[in-house]
Amino acid sequence: MESYAAALLYAIPFFVGLVLVEVLYGRLVKNQMHNVMDTVSSLSSGLTNVVKDSLGLGIILISYPFLLEHLALVEIKATWLVWVVAFIALDFAGYWNHRLNHHINFFWNQHVIHHSSEEFNLACALRQPISNLLGYYALLLIPAALLGVPNTVIAVLAPIHLFAQFWYHTRHIGKMGWLEYVIVTPSQHRVHHAINKEYIDKNLGQIFCVWDRMFGTFQEELDDVPPQYGVLKPAHTWNPIIINFQHLWRLMQDAWRTKSYWDKLRIWFMPTGWRPADVKEKYPVEIIQDVYHFEKYQPSTSWGLKAYSIFQLVFTTFLMLFMFYNYAEIGFDGLLYFGAFVMVGIFGYTALMDRKGYAIWIEVARGVAGLILIYWTNDWFGLDAFWSYGSYLVALYFLATIMFAIYFTYFEKSFVSPDLVS
């Protein structure tokens, strides 16, 4: 995990920098694909994911080293050909994992966050899950294990394979000629994120588009069918933690409410969106019927709240970068506390972005808890060793969190304003 944290020190600024480049380019060409609150929500989702993954939170049902030990038919060295085979094996496994997420009710919960943005831009690529708490992905790497692909090769290639899926989340790049027959392109991935009936559950490939063409899930972007984005059961929130578990909560409610014991059992493994007939009739759920005329989620928001949301995102990102920089020295218990502050913070300020009444209690509570921790330890997880006034700056941040939570809840009049970047 420490090596993963070190990699994130470089990956996070790189991805955020590219998002900013896309924002500036959209402004330059007067074709903006971002709005403030959606982009803050997307980047915040990315932060929750890296906290969860860097701390190793979850249960590994089966690991690749275990499969390699028990299934390998041959033992091979990490030659360049092995690296190529391993990358193809990872992409093949990724295709089927992606397809599983789209087609099975229970697994959709861990993927819905990625599709929840009603925009399509580089920021939405960072909407990654924290609800994938059961590690079963290694099962899809059985072909690699049978071939004896070393674990070190898989460990190195897995994050590279993931990061390589970032660039094609954009509307600024058109079709790419002959590359459309080889790799997943922005055009193909726009189709994948679209909720048009022509595009649903298509283009599930991650790096190579050959799998979609082989297994019948490929769909070209059509000139007369402009993609519309989001999910058919809209999230109606900027809070990425809530989005991560919305679908699971609905499944739990439906399983509890249905009178059929058979439906209580099979609902988890039925196709995505399936609901028991008795529950579906009695407890209807909003589903977008006209994808071209639905109202996007955009609660009334002031310029001040938009600026404050950006401030919270930036400061939280810097806190995260310090956590990764000082990962080993903080220690596992300290990392859990640090991660909890980040998670609660993201939940709090995105709830404030939603104008939820309970947001103030979360923000005030975490602000007070942060101040108490700094007073008690006379530091912030070792920050003062790098900068003597570091803990004072974090204390000021918590004071600002308390004051602005009170201000936006009780004093500011909510009104609709133009988007900062539109």
Q: What is the pLDDT of residues 7-18, one digit of tens each?
A: 788 889 999 999
Task: Tell me which H or E stretch contains 135.
Answer: strand 134-135
| Cα–Cα dist 375/360, whole Å | 22
Residue that is last in its domain, among 188, 215, 242: 215
Whether the per-residue pLDDT at 251 is higher than 50: the answer is yes
- 274 in a structural domain: no
Give the pLDDT confidence of 187-219 residue by residue, as tens digits: 999 999 999 999 999 999 999 999 999 999 999
Whether the per-residue pLDDT at 324 is higher than 90: the answer is yes
Cα-to-chain-centroid distance, residue 20 = 18
- 255 in a structural domain: no
Mean pLDDT of 393-409: 97
Would you state the pLDDT for residue 76?
82
pLDDT band at residue 260 under the 50/70/90 scheme: very high
Would you state the pLDDT for residue 57?
82
The CA radius of gyration of the chain, in Å to the nearest whole number, is: 22
Percent of the chain with pLDDT over 70: 97
State both tokens at 195: 């909720």
Would you state the pLDDT for residue 1?
58
**DSSP helix/strand/coil, 415:** coil
| Cα–Cα dist 201/404, whole Å | 42
Whether the per-residue pLDDT at 69 is higher than 60: the answer is yes
Helix axes 2-28, 303-325, angle to 10 degrees: 150
Task: Burial-class residue 53 by CB neighbours within 10 Å (0-12, 13-18, 19+).
Answer: buried
Would you state the pLDDT for residue 2?
60
State both tokens at 341: 């502050």
Residue that is last in its domain, among 168, 197, 215: 215
Task: Burial-class residue 389 by CB neighbours within 10 Å (0-12, 13-18, 19+).
Answer: exposed
Q: Which domain holds residue 77?
A: 59-117+132-215
Whether the per-residue pLDDT at 359 is higher than 50: the answer is yes
| Cα–Cα dist 44/314, whole Å | 10
Would you state the pLDDT for residue 135?
86
Same domain, 193 and 327: no
- 113 in a structural domain: yes
Same domain, 190 and 310: no
Percent of the chain with pLDDT over 90: 88
Residue that is last in its domain, among 150, 185, 215: 215
Would you state the pLDDT for residue 77?
82
- 172 in a structural domain: yes
Same domain, 75 and 210: yes
Task: Burial-class residue 18 by CB neighbours within 10 Å (0-12, 13-18, 19+).
Answer: middle
Would you state the pLDDT for residue 413?
58
Torsion of CA 316, 302, 286, 99, to 10 degrees: -30
Whether the per-residue pLDDT at 70 is higher than 60: the answer is yes
Domain count, the chain: 2
Among 297, 403, 315, smallest CA distance to 353 is for: 297
- 347 in a structural domain: yes
Same domain, 85 and 201: yes
Same domain, 63 and 195: yes
Q: What is the mean pLDDT of the chain?
A: 94
Whether the per-residue pLDDT at 54 is higher than 80: the answer is yes
- 253 in a structural domain: no
Would you state the pLDDT for residue 415?
43
Among 148, 161, 123, 94, smallest CA distance to 17 is for: 123
Cβ neighbors of 190 (< 8 A, separation 6 or more) are 120, 171, 221, 227
pLDDT band at residue 56 under the 50/70/90 scheme: confident
- 386 in a structural domain: yes
- 320 in a structural domain: yes
